[in-house]
Amino acid sequence: MFAGHHSLLPAIFAKFTGKPLILIAGGADAVSFPQFGYGNFRKPLLAWVTKKSYQLSTFISPVADALIFQQHRFLPENSSPQGILAFTHIDKEKFIVIPNGYDPYAWKIAGDKERKGCITVATHIETNARKIIKGIDTVLAVAEKMPAVPFCIAGCNRKDLPEHLPVNIRVTGPLNAEQLEAEYNSAAVYLQLSVSEGFPNALCEAMLCGCVPIVSSVGAMPEITGDCGYLLNQKDPETVQQLILAALSTEWKTRSAKSRERISTLFTETNRGEMLSELITNAINSKEKKRKRSEHVDAIS
């Protein structure tokens, strides 16, 4: 899972022992945002080991098509191609996209509990750059414009956020799964306004709990949300404010039910398990065929 410094030695070992290697690209290993200090391809050495790991692999299994290639337009001032093929030359036949999968019984809607406002999940946001990558700067700006709407930032430490927060923002600190499920069930809307994402787990968990999603148009998020939620095509707090008002409208109940149904139908652990099993079988068979061809050529020689 993920390519980088840790994947190079296993990749070299696989090459010299004839073992199949599958790399699962998850997000940071497919992008470069040097202005935020984010992405494997922003540093020459890290970019090289990431590229070499991909080249030595039998198959690459990104969690989203966008990690293969995507024209990134979310930042108005910086439109740039992202994805593995934006930085490397690799045979497209190596790529097999397998989305993340979830257990719909692990994340549930808790009855008819009253739900208000918005929630987002953010961890490891110690630096300002990381806050921007995860869209927390946008959440703070929007919350200040909407004082009557409660906002929850779950998962991070209070010290990682500015000293003076809008009064309508509540910070939970780190949570276990049960506590996080309860927070999802207290909110009407889930916000994922990231600059870069692969296939965010928190978004899918929140949708299983009935939150209506508002997401940025990066990574797999447009594919995840479909017609259940609202898409932010460019980073703009005023547009987010309008989308929140729309999400809290009379359509909320219908979209909430559709959100859970979409994840529990399209992105299940069972589907992912079956696709991974098939990919592993294909990788083993691929190596076996190459070995037999090599032995045949040697015999002829």
Dihedral sign for Cα 189, 194, 196, 202, please.
Answer: negative
CA distances from 48 to 68, 136, 277 (A): 17, 31, 29
Show me where the domains of the chain are located: 5-98+268-300, 118-266
pTM: 0.91
Structural contact between residues 106 and 118, judged by C-beta atoms closer than 8 angstroms: no
Q: Does domain 118-266 have CATH number 1.20.58.100?
A: no
pLDDT tens-place string over residues 137-178: 999 999 999 999 999 999 999 999 998 999 999 999 999 999
pLDDT tens-place string over residues 65-124: 999 999 999 998 778 899 999 999 999 999 999 999 999 999 999 877 789 999 999 999
Note the pLDDT of residue 297.
44
Structural contact between residues 209 and 176, judged by C-beta atoms closer than 8 angstroms: no
Q: What is the mean pLDDT of residues 182-205?
A: 96
Length of the chain, please?
301
R_g over Cα of the chain: 21
Residue 21 reports pLDDT greater than 60: yes
**Nearest-5° Cα angle at 218, 45 to 78:** 65
Q: What percent of the chain has pLDDT over 70?
A: 95
Note the pLDDT of residue 295.
55
